[in-house]
Structure 1
Amino acid sequence: MLSKCLQPLLLRLSPDFRAGAKEGFRLCLPVSVGIVPWALVTGLAMVGAGFTPVQAMGMSLIVFGATAQLGTLPLIATGAPLWLIVATALVVNLRFVIFSAALARPLSGGTLAERWLCGYVLTDGVFATCLERLRNAPDPRWRIGFYLAPSLWCGLMWQSATLVGVLAAGSIPRNWSLEFMASIALIVLLVPMAKLRPMLVAAATGGTLAVVLRGMPLRLGVMAAIVGGIAAGFAAEHWQARRAAQ
């Protein structure tokens, strides 16, 4: 039934878009499994912070970012100032500034609506898995399909697993250690990204600062570590580009 409903839409898409979509979906399907524990943990955490199911899913749809949601939940639960909550959400999502800059040229061939959609569904896993192919593929419609298909799939998996976590918050045993599973999934996503020197510099700098500044109040050490890591990544990319131009 679903395939019959989607068939008219798929027929309107160019063959290049459909070919890219199939390839992107095939490539990112194994990575998308790592989304499930993260989404479950996020759903459980939102309910644990006192959110109703409607509030939890509203936050999930609007924010659509595990680190921003998990990073701000303790502040919301403790009644922290609004400026600190907003600043925390912005800082922990600053990595998407780097991701967007890297994707700007490969996705420039899309329509305005497609580019807005690409920005909303941007995820770490799809970025890490697809970036190299996106940079090298010559056809713009192929690149859009290659990026959007796995991104929309990951978005669907995220919202579905988050809903499961929200609805099952009272029945999932604590000894399942979903937080540990989510951390392992994040490490798996970081490995391919670390192949790029600027990303490796950013990760090393941010990790070091997070450990050194862990004693700062209101988790400001994490915010400082994120800003420092992103700044180091930008500096490394700028230095690499200047060296390549010489």
Structure 2
Amino acid sequence: MFFLPEIHRHPAFRDGIRSSSGVAPGIAAWGLMTGVAMIKSGMSVVEAVAMTLFVYAGSSQLAAIPLIVAGAPAWVVWATSFCVNLRFVVFSLHLRDYLMHLPRWRRLANGFLTADLTYALFTGRHPEPAQDAAGRLEQEAFLAGNYFLTWCSWIGASLVGIAIGNAIPAEWGLGFAGVLCLVGIVCSLANTPMRLMAAAVAGVAAVATFALPLKLNVVAAIAIAVLACMVVENRMPPPARERAA
């Protein structure tokens, strides 16, 4: 989207770049270690580059790599990646009112390029969809500026990690910067009792089911947290349910 003149020439595009400049180093460090991890796992350069360019989802990439190395069935790899990325369904639902006026190809492009931190920064800056054409263009330009920098940081660093491969020792722990970014997202988004409960249940479930093979504790934690929230929400009276939502 950032190649469209009306987008990258808009002042809000530069505002979006500035807003994501603080998290770009962490994203780059995480992308670098993901690139290294793919090469060290035994993936070919072509496979690693293809996964970087077409998947563009660090958490699902890191979840899928050990499963691929362990020779897990394809359905397990797909199911794990699907569950890890379920949060993007929620992001897309929330962004629907912001982007539904756009042509389908632009909605698809925005959806593909929007990541966790992009979503958090964008909704923090624009909590409500604009009601006029100028406001909608401004919001799309800000969103594009956000994901332009995060996309460049991730893709560039991942490709560097693939290129240098085993030259970077895992002991450097650069990937921890990416973990810190995700912790920041969780802390900023866990701002209601329901969200706090979901995070707590998922964390406890992931630890309790750690012994499951093929990293299935991640899938189990997501499923248990979703079910727990559904049970609690269904037992709430309608006014309390609306407040929780």
TM-score range, shorter chain: 0.7 to 0.9
Deviation at 1:240, TM superposition (A): 9.8
Matched, 1:201 2:193: no
Matched, 1:243 2:240: yes
Deviation at 1:204, TM superposition (A): 1.8
Deviation at 1:74, TM superposition (A): 1.1
Partners of 2:12 and 2:7 lie apart in 1 by: 10
Percent of aligned positions that are identical: 31
Alpha carbons of structure 1 residues 98 and 201: separation in structure 2 relative to 1, 3 Å: farther
Give the equivalent residue in structure 2 for 1:186: 182
Secondary structure of the residue that 2:100 maps to in structure 1?
Answer: coil
- Residue 210 of structure 1 aligns with an amino acid whose one-letter code is A
Does structure 2 conserve the Cα–Cα contact (< 8 Å) formed by 1:20 and 1:146? Answer: yes
Give the equivalent residue in structure 2 for 1:40: 32
User: What are the ranges of 5 or more consecutive residues in structure 1 without an aligned counterpart?
Assistant: 1-5
Does structure 2 conserve the Cα–Cα contact (< 8 Å) formed by 1:44 and 1:169? Answer: yes
Alpha carbons of structure 1 residues 36 and 119: separation in structure 2 relative to 1, 3 Å: same
Alpha carbons of structure 1 residues 90 and 244: separation in structure 2 relative to 1, 3 Å: closer
TM-score (norm 1): 0.84
Partners of 2:232 and 2:70 lie apart in 1 by: 38
Deviation at 1:169, TM superposition (A): 1.7
Does structure 2 conserve the Cα–Cα contact (< 8 Å) formed by 1:107 and 1:143? Answer: no
Give the equivalent residue in structure 1 for 2:119: 127
Deviation at 1:237, TM superposition (A): 7.8
Alpha carbons of structure 1 residues 233 and 144: separation in structure 2 relative to 1, 3 Å: farther
TM-score (norm 2): 0.85
Alpha carbons of structure 1 residues 199 and 28: separation in structure 2 relative to 1, 3 Å: farther
- Residue 109 of structure 2 aligns with an amino acid whose one-letter code is L
Alpha carbons of structure 1 residues 34 and 60: separation in structure 2 relative to 1, 3 Å: same
Give the equivalent residue in structure 2 for 1:147: 143
Deviation at 1:218, TM superposition (A): 2.5
User: Structure 2 residue aligned with 1:215, among 186, 207, 211?
Assistant: 211
- Report the aligned-residue RMSD: 2.6
Count of residues in correspondence between the two structures: 236
Deviation at 1:196, TM superposition (A): 4.7
Secondary structure of the residue that 2:185 maps to in structure 1?
Answer: helix
156-165 vs 184-193, greater mean Cα deviation: 184-193
Deviation at 1:93, TM superposition (A): 0.7
> Could you list the per-position Cα deviations for residues 154-200 of structure 1 after superposition, in whole angstroms to 9, with x for gaps in the alignment?
11211100011111122213331223333223222322222355443
User: Structure 2 residue aligned with 1:59, among 28, 35, 51?
Assistant: 51
Deviation at 1:65, TM superposition (A): 0.6
Partners of 2:105 and 2:199 lie apart in 1 by: 32
Secondary structure of the residue that 2:167 maps to in structure 1?
Answer: coil
Partners of 1:236 and 1:117 lie apart in 2 by: 35
- Residue 41 of structure 2 aligns with an amino acid whose one-letter code is A
Deviation at 1:219, TM superposition (A): 2.1
Give the equivalent residue in structure 2 for 1:73: 65
Does structure 2 conserve the Cα–Cα contact (< 8 Å) formed by 1:22 and 1:146? Answer: yes
Does structure 1 conserve the Cα–Cα contact (< 8 Å) formed by 2:7 and 2:144? Answer: no
- Residue 219 of structure 2 aligns with an amino acid whose one-letter code is M
User: What are the ranges of 5 or more consecutive residues in structure 2 without an aligned counterpart?
Assistant: none
- Residue 158 of structure 1 aligns with an amino acid whose one-letter code is W
